[in-house]
Amino acid sequence: MEIVIKTLAFVFVFGLLVVFHEFGHYIVARWMGVRVLSFSVGFGPVLWARTRGHTEYALRALPLGGYVRMLGDDPTAPVDDEIARDPESFHNKPVWRRMLIVVAGPVFNFILPLVVLFVAALIFDGRLLSARVGTPIAGGPAASAGLLPGDLIVRVAGRDVTTFDDLVREIGKRADQPTLLDIDRDGKPVQVTVTPREVVHAGAAEVGIVERVGRIQMAPAEQVPTIAVQAGSPLWQAGLRSGDRVREVGGKPVKTWHALNLALQAASGPVTVRWTPLREKAPVPRAKASQAMQSLHSGASEQATVVPRGDPSPAPGAAITQRWGAAPGHRLVGPVLLGGPESEIAGLLPGDEVIALDGAPVAGMEQLYDRLSAPYQRVMLDPAYRVWSATERVQRLQAAMIGHTLLVRRTLTVTEVQANLQWRAGLQASAPPPKGPWQTYLAGLAAADAAQQLATGEVQFPTLLKIPVTLGKDDRPDLALELAPLVDRVPPDLIENPHLIRHAFSASWSQFLRGSTLILATTAELFKGNVAVKEVGGVIRMAQMTSEATERGLERVLQLLAALSINLGILNLLPIPLVDGGHLLFLAIEGVRRQPASLRVRQVASFVGLAFLGMLFLVVMKNDLQALFAK
């Protein structure tokens, strides 16, 4: 069934691209009074055909495109007397009419994505994320400014915002500028000043597109109550460890960290806590990565009565840390992939807490990512990056990615403490070689010191992490940073889109401009030699992309259709003989000279264009087959 759906999706995408392009030529030709002899989808032998009026409508065997044949439209053939006298001949129409007919195909390729993206917005954006704060990212501007989960941002610098998209758009304009936010906090108006941090998106740096925007680093979804537990604290003594997920407090469910905080603040004495321990503490095979997060907290829950410590009325916001001994799991490591540098070199495990990087404290995993990838970003932002070869880019990026020292805090269950005490006690007798940073650290301690640290159930150890830079099949470098956070988030609430039609127009136009800019820049850099020829793909690549998009749903298929249509429109406007751009070039010359180029010139140009397209076809097939068999 899945292969059928993917096949139908490809037929839909490819067929609509071809039909819409050729329909542009067809409808404008009819409008301009030109007789259309054939409207064909595909090339080669006819599978199906029907003639109506002067036009044959045909479906052909080779799905490599399509064409519209008009009376007198062959620029490489002499015009016979009968066609020359026919008023419906393409040849007899004024230059401006012929140019309209030729340009109509690419123009319709630009109309199609606008229509598709508009329809997609109407279908999928009827409900949107609100401008409500879910999780202020640790160490980010939102957290530093004091934004809290549940805060509803209603204005940014005096401009009303309703949805999360509105918020992102307004904040994006104000990088490094102190910005006043009007907030509804539990029904009370509050004003907060935040300074959005400049974030650089350099994913398309090889074609010269670098986007700089402001971000306050706030997620619209609230994080679940996965906790980091202090050794010796009341929660620790009850049996909880870092990475465990709290389910209930006092018999009442808690689904978010904010709810847990409120529940424990309200508890003035002993309270029953139910939690799910972190079950899987081993690296997982790459093939099981998508299910790894769900398996971390699977299995039965545990329950204990926890007795708080200290002042029953601590400072606001400090209740969990001071009285109960838990903090949000911002710095906890999630699923670790087997064979990756995080497991093989750094020896990290799920539930480990990264507390420092190169001696500087870490606020959360997002901040850790930023600091680890900063050297990579600096190389990509070098003005000369776009003219370096793919090999040179990778070499420079690899040279920039030096190793970093992580300080890791690992908490152990009673069983794990006993196992490590036994291993350390027998170290001198059996002298097994250390297996990783954790064992190396324990082996380097005196036996008494190792026993003392292990007895606390909490050990801090340094480890080295170097993130490799790899070269993908398309010759694009990639930073293999696979360090996942442990803390998950609950699905955020959605609100009705208050301005659906206006939003659809704005969203479709914005995506169209962004996609056109990227494709146009990539095409230009390809001809300059700054983008690898491996970027070019054909029908097989299109089928692969459609298959991948189908797995992610209809919305992704429509976005792919829009991108492919823009790409087809731009490529057809290139001044290459035998494609629309080449026809437009000769018509422009005819308009200036008041007479067409000679038949000999047109024939030579067509031969050159045919040779170019033939070589392009071979390159495309080579790339497609390599991509196909590289799977």
Q: Report the catalytic residues.
A: 22
Torsion of CA 334, 335, 341, 346, to 10 degrees: 50
DSSP label of 177:
S
Give the closest residue to 103 by CA, choosing from 623, 572, 477.
572
Distance between CA 85 and CA 415 in Å, rounded? Answer: 96
> What whole-number distance in Å separates Cα of residue 51 and Cα of residue 79?
25
Q: Distance between CA atoms of 603 and 75, rounded to whole angstroms? A: 8
| Residue 158 identity | G
Q: Please, which residues bridge with residue 471 across strands?
A: 477
Q: How many alpha carbons fall within 13 Å on the CB side of residue 529?
A: 3
| Residue 567 in tokens | 């790409």
Classify burial at 243, counting beta carbons within 10 Å of its beta carbon; exposed 0-12, middle 13-18, buried 19 or more: buried
Up-side HSE of residue 19: CA atoms within 13 Å toward CB?
Answer: 11
* HSE, side-chain direction, 13 A CA sphere, residue 597: 18
- Angstrom distance (rounded) from CA 107 to CA 90: 19
User: With contact defined as beta carbons under 8 Å apart, do 322 and 314 qualify?
Assistant: yes
User: Per 3-state DSSP, what percentage of the chain is helix, strand, and coil (rounded to 5)?
Assistant: 45, 25, 30
Q: In this structure, are residues 333 and 486 in contact, taking their beta carbons and an 8 Å threshold? A: yes
170: closest CA among 157, 152, 189, 151? Answer: 157
Burial letters 472-498, b for 16+ CB under 10 A, else e: eeebbbebebebbbbbbbeeeeeeebe
| Residue appearing with tokens 């109960």 | 324
Measure the CA–CA gap between 181 and 155, rounded to whole angstroms.
6
Radius of gyration of the chain (CA): 32
Task: State how far the Cα of 350 lies from the Cα of 228, in Å rounded to an integer.
Answer: 12
Up-side HSE of residue 308: CA atoms within 13 Å toward CB? 24
Burial of 471 (0-12, 13-18, 19+ CB in 10 A): middle
Query: What residue spans of 445-535 are helical by DSSP H?
Result: 447-456, 500-528
Structure tokens at 274: 């139910």
CB 482 within 8 A of CB 286: no
Residues contacting 33, CB < 8 A, separation 6+: 87, 88, 93, 97
Q: Which amino acid is at 56?
A: E
Q: Rounded to whole angstroms, how far apart are CA atoms 608 and 614?
A: 10
Q: Phi, psi (5° rounding) for residue 287? A: -65, -20
